[in-house]
Structure 1
Amino acid sequence: MLRAAVAGLAFALLGALAPAWAEDLLPEPAVGDNGLHIQDWFVDSFLDIGEDLAEAKAQGKGLVIIFEQAGCPYCREMHQVNLRRPDIVAQIKETFHVVQLDLRGARETTDTDGEKLAEGKLARKWGVAFTPTLLFFAKDADPAGNPANMAASAIMPGYFKPFHFASMFDYVASGGFKHAHFQDFIVERRERMRAAGKDVTLWE
């Protein structure tokens, strides 16, 4: 009886300590015919990267290009964990336009150097070999006629847990990438959040 009471108290305390977002996750995203997860707030792009950069800049935002592929377990994790967090999604929508590309896709894209090629070939041109890979462009990024990846402010090479994932968006949006390494920025951000009384969970 005592053991059951202690266990019940432990679960109650864990519930009380859980962050607010844990009680209000966004709905699970659907999967499209191409095998990629659907987020209705991603930009419905004509896949002209220069135009995407210009449109984002006109709204005072940066651009993120996400390469995914069907059957990618870490892409699924990104969508079912990170992108179901309302706090993370709100942060991204406030500061970035997001364009989703298929690592093996055949849709025509236009790079900022004017070259037209299938999205899968664009991935190879940019050196993207696995998924998810996210390329970040600050709102003042300027490829200046070169391939867009040469102007990337930061690259996320794979799946990051929620805190690190959100931190990368903050790292670019705040301009932190211009003067600090990402690991140093994470430490500073963690301490700022804790000083403000916010719960910080690094590896869940």
Structure 2
Amino acid sequence: MASHITLLHTSVWHRRDWLLRVGVSLCTTPVLAQSGGAATLPVAQSLPDELARALQKKQPLIVMVSLDGCVFCLQARQSHLSPMYKAGVAIVQVDMRNNQPVLDFAGKLTTHDQLTRQWKVSITPTLLFFGPGGKEVAERMEGAYLPDFYGPYLEDRLVQGRKAL
């Protein structure tokens, strides 16, 4: 009986140690990856200018609403959005709960957080697809999708957005 209690006690400590390690790695991974440049996107500064550049390429402007520390945001950036940006797709990032200034589509100064509230975004990551006049031209992608389906759903939204231009 004493050996069973010792084994149970040891098992609990191994489980706690494992959970602690996983928790620490999840907390530090976004910071390390974002600072490494591999999973970064340009931060939105002037939506009218960024939209104009996208429309010149006959593309919708993709705006990723992110949250600092969001593991699913990091995955979307690393797996899909950063490579697309590097390939020339117009993408910017707006950070929920961030007071960084940005010009909205009307040319009015606001903050990233105010934009996310204005757009009624409550889940990260959320991708929005904007066309002329700052109007959404495709269905939003809200939250995490299964990794195997994220790319096809994203491509579908881009097709929708391009057709609406």
TM bucket by the smaller chain? 0.5 to 0.7
- Compared CA separation, residues 70 and 64, structure 1 to 2 (3 A): same
Which residue does 2:65 correspond to in 1? Answer: 67
Q: Is the 8 A contact 2:96 2:112 kept in 1?
A: yes
Q: Secondary structure at the match of 2:33?
A: coil
Which residue does 1:112 correspond to in 2? Answer: 105
Identical residues among aligned pairs (%): 24
Q: Is the 8 A contact 1:61 1:95 kept in 2?
A: no
Structure 1 unmatched runs, 5+: 1-28, 180-204
Q: How far does residue 70 in structure 1 lie from its aligned partner after superposition?
A: 1.7
Q: Which has the higher contact order (CA 8 A, sep 6+)?
A: 2
Q: 2:139 aligns with which of 140, 143, 154?
A: 154
Structure 2 unmatched runs, 5+: 1-31
Letter in 2 for 1:57: L
- Compared CA separation, residues 97 and 114, structure 1 to 2 (3 A): same
Q: Secondary structure at the match of 1:128?
A: coil
Structure index of larger Rg: 2
Q: How far does residue 99 in structure 1 lie from its aligned partner after superposition?
A: 0.5
TM-score computed with the length of structure 1 as normaliser:
0.54
Q: 1:136 aligns with which of 129, 136, 158?
A: 129
Q: How far does residue 91 in structure 1 lie from its aligned partner after superposition?
A: 5.1
Distance between the aligned counterparts of 1:161 and 1:95, measured in 2? Answer: 25
Q: 2:75 aligns with which of 70, 74, 77?
A: 77
Q: How far does residue 108 in structure 1 lie from its aligned partner after superposition?
A: 0.9
Q: Is the 8 A contact 1:75 1:131 kept in 2?
A: yes
Q: How far does residue 95 in structure 1 lie from its aligned partner after superposition?
A: 6.1
Distance between the aligned counterparts of 1:108 and 1:177, measured in 2? Answer: 29
TM-score computed with the length of structure 2 as normaliser:
0.65
Q: Secondary structure at the match of 1:96?
A: coil
Q: Is the 8 A contact 2:125 2:144 kept in 1?
A: yes
- Compared CA separation, residues 74 and 40, structure 1 to 2 (3 A): closer
Q: 2:123 matched to 1:125? A: no
RMSD of aligned Cα (Å): 3.1
Aligned residue-pair number: 134
- Compared CA separation, residues 105 and 39, structure 1 to 2 (3 A): farther
Distance between the aligned counterparts of 2:161 and 2:54, measured in 1? Answer: 19
Cα-to-partner distance string for 1:21-62 (whole Å, 9 max, x where unaligned): xxxxxxxx7234xxxx844773355x1111111012223333
More helix by share: 2
Q: Secondary structure at the match of 1:61?
A: coil
Which residue does 2:149 correspond to in 1? Answer: 164
Q: Is the 8 A contact 2:39 2:74 kept in 1?
A: no
Distance between the aligned counterparts of 1:112 and 1:91, measured in 2? Answer: 23
Cα-to-partner distance string for 1:157-189 (whole Å, 9 max, x where unaligned): 11122332212332133338869xxxxxxxxxx
Equivalences for 1:7-86 in 2 at 5 Å? 30-32=33-35, 38-39=37-38, 42-43=41-42, 45=44, 47-79=45-77, 82-83=79-80
Distance between the aligned counterparts of 1:133 and 1:113, measured in 2? Answer: 21
Letter in 1 for 2:140: I
Q: How far does residue 130 in structure 1 lie from its aligned partner after superposition?
A: 2.0
